[in-house]
Amino acid sequence: MLTWKEVINFSVKGNPTPDKRVEKTEAEWRNILTPEQFRITRQKGTERPHSGALCAIHEAGKYNCVCCNTPLFGSSIKFESGTGWPSFTQPIKPNAIKYERDTAYGMVRVEVMCNTCDAHLGHVFPDGPEPSGLRYCINSESMILEIETDIK
Ligand SMILES: [Zn+2]
């Protein structure tokens, strides 16, 4: 399980190696994404709170990157944070997510990105529920939910 200390280490010393890489030009991303998906994932945008389609969804499944379809988070680690953005306590795998120090808007935050294609997803904060204490605050528009119908 990742903790805040490991997240900070990744953002300072370098990220884990992803299983694969997906790289496209800006024009290619524009072709396959909606304008809102493009604005958020490729231009580090943020959707309005409570506007995202995945906010109040609790079906079992995997949340995949909207750009490259790599699984990022599992529904079992989703929790209701009350912030208006889908929130998770852990990535689906330690190397699924990439972390970078973000000093925009006069704040020091840790940006989270897809480690496969560098899509901007949101930020991670150290005020999540135990045991990890992490809160990944993610834009709905950066993910697609792959519903698992055969979960027992
Ligand atoms: Zn991706």
Residue 55 annotated among the catalytic residues of the structure: no
**Percentage above 90 pLDDT, the chain:** 89
Ligand 1 centroid, distance to 69 Cα (angstroms): 6
Residue 57 predicted with pLDDT over 90: no
What pLDDT, on the 0 to 100 scale, is given for residue 146? 94
What pLDDT, on the 0 to 100 scale, is given for residue 150? 58
Work out the average pLDDT over 139-146: 96
Q: What is the pLDDT of residues 124-139, one digit of tens each?
A: 999 999 999 999 999 9
Ligand 1 centroid, distance to 27 Cα (angstroms): 16
- The closest of 45, 117, 54 to 81, measured between CA atoms, is 54
Ligand 1 centroid, distance to 62 Cα (angstroms): 14
Q: What is the pLDDT of residues 72-82, one digit of tens each?
A: 999 999 999 99
Task: Compute how many other C-beta atoms are within 10 angstroms of the C-beta atom of residue 139.
Answer: 26
Who contacts 46 (Cβ-Cβ below 8 Å, separation ≥6)? Answer: 40, 122, 139
pLDDT-derived band at 55 (thresholds 50, 70, 90) equals confident
